[in-house]
Structure formats: C-alpha cells, structure tokens
Amino acid sequence: MSTAAMQKETKWWSGGRSPFNASYGKVMMWYFLMSDAFTFGAFLISYGTIRFSQNFWTDPNKVFNSFPGLHGMDLPLAFVSLMTFILIASSVTMVLAVHEGHKMNKKGVEKYMILTIIGGFAFLACQAWEWTHLLTGDHVALLGNGTLDVVPTTVTMNPWGADVNPDAVAAALQGTPHDQLVNIASTVGHGGEAHHDMSALSNTELIDAITKGNIHVTHTGPIAFGGYFFGITGFHGFHVFSGVVINVVMWIKTRLGHFDERGHYEMIEKAGLYWHFVDLVWVFVFLCFYLI
Amino acid sequence: MSEHNHEHNVSSPEITFGHPPAEGTGRIWKIFWLLSAVTVAELILGFGIAKHWYPSAAWILFIKGVICILSFAKAYYIVSVFMHLGDEIRNFIMTIVVPLCLFIWFIIAFLWDGDSWKKLRNKYGGEPAKTEQVAPAHHQGAKD
C-alpha cells in the first residue's frame, strides 16, 4: 500500500520492485562495471592511438621474456601465461563459491573464497615481480647523446628501441664516459668480478670486456610505452587488489554467518561480478600489451 | 508468491521469480577448459610472432586479427557464463550491451586518428607550424 502511494509522488524508480527482476545492488554493480569497462577501454584505446601514431613500436616479446629463477633465457610470453592462468583459475574458484552460495553451503563458500583470495595474491605477487624486473632492468641502450648506458624501463625511459648495428656500438663505446662503461661491463660480466674491481680498469680494458661479452644494444624507444604499461597494468593491479580486499571481507562475513542469517548469499554473487570483471579486463590487457 | 520465493532462496522482495535452482558444476568446468584452450591457442599464435614463423607483415596482421577475435570469444564466455549475464532477462542484457556498442566507433575512430598523425608527421617532418611561433614580443610593454 505504501509502495503504491510513494510511486505516485515521484517518477524516479528507487527499488522496491525490479524492472529487470534482479536486485537493486546487482543491477547497479553491472552499471558500475559497464562504466569501468569504458574507463579501461579509453586507456587501452589511447594506448592504441599512440602506438598507431609511431613508425616504430617496442616489441613486447623482447621486453617481457624473463621468468623468475631462469636468468638470461629468452622466454617470451612465459611469465604472462602463468599470470593469465592464475587469474582464470581464480575466476573458476569464484564461480564455484557463488555456486555453493546458491546451495546455502557455508563451508563450500568459505573454501572457494579462500582459494580465490590466494589466486588474487598470487597474481599480485607476479605483477610485483614483473614491475621490479622492469624498473631495475639492466638493458644496454644507445642514448640520445651518443653514449651507451644501462637503463631500466620506467615512465620516462624506454630502452627498447630498434637494434643498433655492431659498428655503431663500437663507435659509441669510444665516446662513453668511464662510469657508464663500468655499469655496462658489470652487467655483461659473468658475475666473477665485483663492481669496485671494474672501476679500477681503464676505458680500453672495459671496452674490451664489453665487446667480448657480446652485448645486445638498442636505441631508446617511444617513451609512452612505459607510461602506458605501468599506468594500465597498475590500474588493473589496483582493481585486483581492491577485489582481493572485497573477497577477504566476504570470506569473513561468510565465516561469521552473516549470509546464513540473511538467508541468501547474494553478496558473494556481487563480489563475484567484480572479480570476473577484473579477469575480463586482463583478457584485453594481455591482448594489447603482450600478444599483439 | 512468498512461498515460491522461499523455495529458491530469493534474495529480495524486489525479485518476483527466482532463478532456477543451480544445476551441477559441469558447465563451469566446461567453460574453464574452453577458456584455457583458447588462451593456449592465443599463446601459440603469439609465440609464432616472437619466433618469426610468419612469412610476411600481412600474415602477422592476420594472426593478430585472429588473436583479437579469440580474445573477444573469451570475453563473451566470461560475461555470459561466469558472470551469468546470459541468465538475466533480455531487457537487462540490452541495457548493458547496447551502450558498449559505442566501442565500435571508439576503436575505429581513435586508431584511425593515430594512423593519421603518423602519416602527417611523416609527410611534414614533425616540425611545428611556423606561424604559431610569432610572439607579440614588441607589445609587451604597451600596457604599462
């Protein structure tokens, strides 16, 4: 009776009866995710615009070719495959948690929420490793001033440009200052000589050591690469992190029996929608940054 | 009606009919294996790009197109099955999917824009237009 009276007073729909036969919270979660899809879409399309505007773009297979514990091996796509499968697996455990929720099986929900949370942390750990690897990377690049140096991949520096031919490398080594030669020699050295020993060597000795080390030198690449990579994977990682926080809250509420008291596990479904969205976005981040 | 709600654990009085009781987990696992298989296919195709398997730039472009289509297939299964959007009523699906059609214009327009920038820069050498460099330096003191 009161509902009918209220509907005459205002033209705004404010719950109470669902036009889509879904709860207010779930409908609004969907609209939030749709808007978030546009945010991510805009970021990725902006990346595409910049990439299409350049004559040269960094080859992801050269940047992302490392795996923890397997130093010096060329393994394109290996680590990111692991990350992708972690996320797919955690998506499945999430969907199984929702499934157990439908059956009002508290123990089942708890178990699958824990597995989903572990998956989320594993993904974040992988991302932390990858960021650290890039930010502390030891790739030798030919800088704009004609000298060579060891540079990491950051938002202001991209060492992954086109290859430099051996003659140009030899010429650039002649003009490279002593401290930069020490940096380069330290990265190509086989770990036997410590850094302070290197600095005692003369420029000629350092250049000799570097040339014997057979280094792979590139020009610097488009600077936008790092900004887009760290910006977009960071924004996605932030979503993963907040998803893990939400899942932990849901796990605690399940354990405390809040959803049993309420008589339904719909909160698990809503958290699940968010978590699957994170997986969905990763499909496209994976596509844009690693595959193509 | 309330008895009917009670049967299917309906979460709120807003909902007038519950979803059918959850079936087994068979469909979930089927989609998991499907997503994994598609991901492996993408990885193999992408690995081919890294290892220079394909004879020409046109081939690489074609492979990249295939990878994009496979990614959209993955997105479809995640949204439809894992997020259960396929189980919602059609009007609701349309309110989500129709606005997303904006992406068709969004992607085409902005990639085209980027490509146009590249062509213009290559044609005119990337130098800024000289006319914009004219500064009204002589008039600086005029106000005083």
Residue A292: other Cβ atoms inside 10 A: 21
Helix (H) or strand (E) holding A140: strand A139-142
Which of B14, B67, B115 is the closest to A16 by Cβ?
B14
Give yes or no for a contact between A205 and A213, defined as CB atoms under 8 angstroms apart: no
Backbone angles phi, psi at A177, to 5 degrees: -65, 160
Say what the pLDDT of residue B128 is.
Answer: 59
Distance CA B80, CA A259 (A): 25
> What tokens does A65 get?
């070719």
Kindly report the nearest CA distance between residue B142 and chain A, in angstroms. 41
A34–B15 CB contact, under 8 Å: no
Helix/strand/coil for A163: strand
Least confident of A132-141, A240-249, A251-260: A132-141
Structure confidence by residue, pLDDT tens digits, A82-135: 999 999 999 999 999 999 999 999 999 999 999 999 999 999 999 999 999 999
Distance from CA of A224 to the nearest CA of B (A): 13
Query: B62, B78, B100, B101: which to substitute to probe chain A, counting the most A Cβ within 10 Å?
Result: B78
Mean pLDDT of A214-236: 92
For residue B92, the distance in angstroms to the closest alpha carbon of chain A comes to 6
pLDDT digits (tens, 9 = 90+) for B74-117: 999 999 999 989 888 888 999 999 999 999 999 999 999 999 99
The whole-angstrom separation of Cα B139 and Cα B116 is 38
Q: What is the mean pLDDT of residues A123-151?
A: 91
Asked if pLDDT for residue A2 goes beyond 60, the answer is no
pLDDT of residue B127: 63
Among residues 48-67 of chain B, which lie with CB inside 8 Å of chain A? 49-51, 64, 67
Q: In this predicted structure, which of A173-177, B4-8, B11-15 has the lowest mean pLDDT?
A: B4-8
Helix axis angle, A224-255 relative to A24-52, nearest 10°?
160
Of B47, B79, B103, the CB nearest to A77: B47
Copy the structure tokens of residue B6. 């009670």
A57-83 pLDDT, tens digit per residue, is: 998 888 888 888 887 778 888 999 999
Whether B133 has a pLDDT exceeding 70, the answer reads no
Residue of A nearest to B84 (CA): A273
The 3-state DSSP class for residue A146 equals: coil
Contacts of A18 in chain B (CB under 8 A): 14-16
3-state secondary structure chain B: CHHHHHHCCCCCCCCCCCCCCCCCCHHHHHHHHHHHHHHHHHHHHHHHHHCCCCCCHHHHHHHHHHHHHHHHHHHHHHHHHHCCHHHCCHHHHHHHHHHHCHHHHHHHHHHHHHHHHHHHHHHHCCCCCHHHHCCCHHHCCCCC
pLDDT over 60 at A190, yes or no: no
Which residues in chain B have Cβ-Cβ distances shorter than 8 Å to A30? 85, 92, 96
When pLDDT is cut at 50, 70 and 90, the band that residue B3 belongs to is: very low
Chain B residues touching A55 at Cβ < 8 A: 118, 122
Residue A281 has pLDDT above 50, yes or no: yes
pLDDT band at A188 (very low <50, low <70, confident <90, very high): confident
What pLDDT shows up at residue B5? 42
Helices A203-212 and A166-174, packing angle to 10 deg: 160
Q: Which residue of B has its CA nearest to A289?
A: B46
Contact A292 B68 (CB under 8 A): yes
Task: Please measure the distance between the N-terminal and C-terminal CA atoms of chain A and give it in whole angstroms.
Answer: 59
Q: CA-nearest residue of chain B to A54?
A: B118
Minimum distance, in Å, between the CA of residue A2 and any CA atom of chain B: 15
Quickly state the pLDDT bin for A228 (edges 50, 70, 90): very high
Q: Give CB contacts under 8 A, 24+ apart, made by A4-10.
A: none
Residue B121, pLDDT > 60, answer yes
Instruction: Taking residues B19-47, report their average pLDDT.
Output: 87
pLDDT recorded at residue B136? 55
Q: Is some CB atom of chain A closer than 8 A to the CB atom of B125?
A: no
Q: Check if B122 contacts A (Cβ < 8 Å).
A: yes
Query: Which of A74, A79, A92, A288 is the best residue to mutate to test the B interface, defined by the most B CB atoms within 10 Å of its own CB?
Result: A92
In the sheet with A139-142, reading across from the earlier edge strand, the strands are A148-151, A139-142, A218-219
Contact B78 A91 (CB under 8 A): yes
Please tell me the predicted confidence (pLDDT) of residue A8: 56
Decide if B15 and A50 are in contact by the 8 Å CB cutoff.
no
pLDDT at A18: 76
User: Between these two residues, A95 and B9, which has the higher pLDDT value?
Assistant: A95
Residue A271 and residue A124: Cα distance in Å, rounded? 18
Q: Tell me, what DSSP letter sits at residue A165?
A: P
What token pair was written down for B97?
């999917």
Q: Characterise A142 by phi-psi region: left (phi > 0), alpha (psi -120 to 50), beta (else).
A: beta
pLDDT, tens digit (0-9, with 9 covering 90-100), for A20-71: 888 888 999 999 999 999 999 999 999 999 999 999 999 888 888 888 888 7
Residue A121's pLDDT is 97
User: Are A84 and B39 an interchain contact pair (Cβ–Cβ within 8 Å)?
Assistant: yes
Model confidence at A169, pLDDT cuts 50, 70, 90, reads: confident
- Give contacts of B91 with chain A, Cβ < 8 Å: 19-20
In angstroms, the Cα distances linking A232 to A11, A41, A82 are 40, 10, 19
CB-based contact B83:A276 (threshold 8 Å): yes
Q: Mind telling me how many Å the CA of B87 is from chain A's nearest CA? A: 11
Residue B31 vs residues A100, B10, B27, B121: alpha-carbon distances, Å:
18, 26, 6, 46
Smallest Cα–Cα separation from A82: which of A108, A119, A46? Answer: A119
